[in-house]
Amino acid sequence: MRHIDEETITQAVIASLSSCPDDRLRLLMTSLVQHLHAFGREVKLTEAEWYAAIEFLTDAGHITDDKRQEFILLSDTLGMSMLVTTLNNRKPKACTETTVLGPFYVAAAPIFDNGADISQGAKGIPCWVRGHVRDLDGHPVAGALMDIWQSDEDGFYDVQHADVPGPQARARLQTLADGGFHFRSVVATAYPIPHDGPVGKMLISTGRHPWRPAHVHFLIDAPGFERLVTQVFRSNDTFLDSDVVFGVRQTLVANWIEHPPGTSPDGDEISTPYYTLDFDFVLNRIPS
Ligand code: BEZ
Ligand code: FE
C-alpha cells in the first residue's frame, strides 16, 4: 500500500473491495473503478478537468430537489436511461417497445371513462386518440389500466405550470372488453427538457440542443402482463432523429392525421381543424 503508483492504483482500489459482503455491489464497484480509471488514463485527464467535473456534479446536486432531478436529466442526456431501459425490457419483436418514463409522470392521475376529454382545459388543437391493447396472439387485453400524460401546445406538462391548479392532459383509463380505448385530448408538441442548469450548460458546450420530438406517454398495466412504459411520437417531427434523450424508436412513430372542420370522431360538429391518432399496443405476458 505504500508504493502505489500510476500502474498499481487500480488494482489497489479493487483489492480494497475484496471484503465487501455483497457480491453484486463488489462486482458493480470493481467494474466502475476499472472503467473510471481507464477513462482517466485514456484521455490523460488533467486536474482542472477533474475539478470541473466535480463542480458540475456539485451544481447538479444544488439544483436538485423534490421537483427537479438534474441527475436523471444527466442520465437521460448521456443515453444511460435509455440503455438501462433497453437492457431490462428485452421482449419479442412484435411487442410494443419500451422507452423512458421521464420526469413528468405523476402517480394516481384522475380516472376517466373512455371517450372523455382528458385535456381538462390544456391548450392545444383537439386530438382524438384511439387504439387497442392486445397480447402477442392478437387477443384483446380487457381492463388494462392505462396512464396517459403529455405536453400542451406550449410544450409544457401540467406540473410545469405554476398557475394550473389540477391535472391536465393527464389521465388513467381502462381498456374495454375488446381491448379498445379512446379519448379526446390536445395535440402534444415538441419541447425542450429543462436546460437552465448544469445539464443545459453541458448540452450547449457540446453543441447539442435540448429538444424532444412531440410524443404522448403511456404506462400500461394488466394482470399477467409485463408493465409497458412507452411513448407514441409524431411522424415528421423535426427532432425525431436528434431526440436529446435518445428515446425514439421507429415502431413508436405514428401519423397524427389532420382533419378539416366537420364532424368529430365523437359525432359533434367541430368548427376548427382537429387531429386523430390511432395506435395499438402489444403487451408481453409474464412467463409462467
Ligand atoms: C419526457 O419525455 O417527459 C422526458 C424524458 C426525459 C427527460 C425529460 C423529459
Ligand atoms: Fe415527455
Indicate which atom in ligand 1 lies nearest the CA of residue 191: 9
Give the pLDDT band of residue 67 (cuts 50, 70, 90): confident
Please tell me the residue having the least CA distance from ligand 1 atom 6. 102
Average pLDDT over residues 11-22: 97
pLDDT (0 to 100) of residue 221: 98
- Three-state DSSP at 243 gives coil
Pick the more confident residue, 20 or 1. Answer: 20
Q: Is the CB of 192 under 6 A from ligand 1?
A: no
Residue 192: the pLDDT is 97
* Residues 129-140: tens digit of each pLDDT: 999 999 999 999
For residue 193, the CA-to-ligand 1 centroid distance in Å is 6
Cα–Cα distance for residue pair 78/91, rounded to 1 Å? 24
Position 288 scores a pLDDT of 80
pLDDT > 80? residue 271: yes
Cβ–ligand 1 contact at 134 (below 6 Å) = no
SS3 at position 111 = strand
Of 151, 173, 167, 183, the closest CA to residue 106 belongs to 167
Q: How confident is the model at residue 165 (pLDDT cuts 50, 70, 90)?
A: confident
Euclidean distance between the first and final Cα of the chain, in Å?
A: 52
According to the model, what pLDDT value does residue 13 have? 98
The structure's pTM equals: 0.95
Triad 34, 37, 43: Cα angle to 5°: 135
Q: Is 212 in the pocket of ligand 1 (CB under 6 A)?
A: yes
The residue-averaged pLDDT of 34-58 equals 98
* Ligand 2 center–CA 231 separation, angstroms: 8
Q: Whose CA is nearest to atom 4 of ligand 1?
A: 102
243 in ligand 1 pocket by Cβ < 6 Å? Answer: no
On the question of pLDDT at 50 being above 90, the answer is yes
pLDDT tens digit sequence for 212-227: 999 999 999 999 999 9
Question: Is ligand 1 within 6 A of the CB of residue 103?
Answer: yes
Is the CB of residue 105 below 6 angstroms from any atom belonging to ligand 1?
Answer: no
Average pLDDT over residues 7-29: 97
- Which grid coordinates are listed for 55? 463542480
- Of all protein residues, the one whose alpha carbon is nearest to atom 5 of ligand 1 is 102
Does the CA dihedral 62-107-286-141 come out positive or negative?
negative
pLDDT of 22 reads: 98
Q: Where are the alpha helices (DSSP H) in 88-241?
A: 198-205
Question: How much of the chain exceeds pLDDT 70, in percent?
Answer: 100
104 close to ligand 1 (CB < 6 Angstrom): yes
Taking all residues of the chain, what is their mean pLDDT, rounded to a whole number?
Answer: 96
Which of 193, 216, 232 for mutating ligand 1's site (highest number of atoms within 8 Å of CB)? 193
Please say if the pLDDT value at position 251 is more than 90.
yes
Counting ligands in written order, the one closest to the CA of 195 is 1
Which pLDDT value is given to residue 52?
98
- Is the separation of the CB atoms in 75 and 47 below 8 Å? no
Contact 101, 229 (CB under 8 A): yes
Q: Which atom of ligand 1 is nearest to the CA of 217?
A: 2
Q: How many residues does the chain have?
A: 288
Residues above pLDDT 90, as percent of the chain: 95
Inter-residue contact 275 to 258 (CB < 8 Å)? yes
pLDDT for 2 equals 78
Ligand 1 atom closest to 193 (CA):
8
Q: Indicate whether residue 100 lines ligand 1 (CB < 6 A).
A: yes
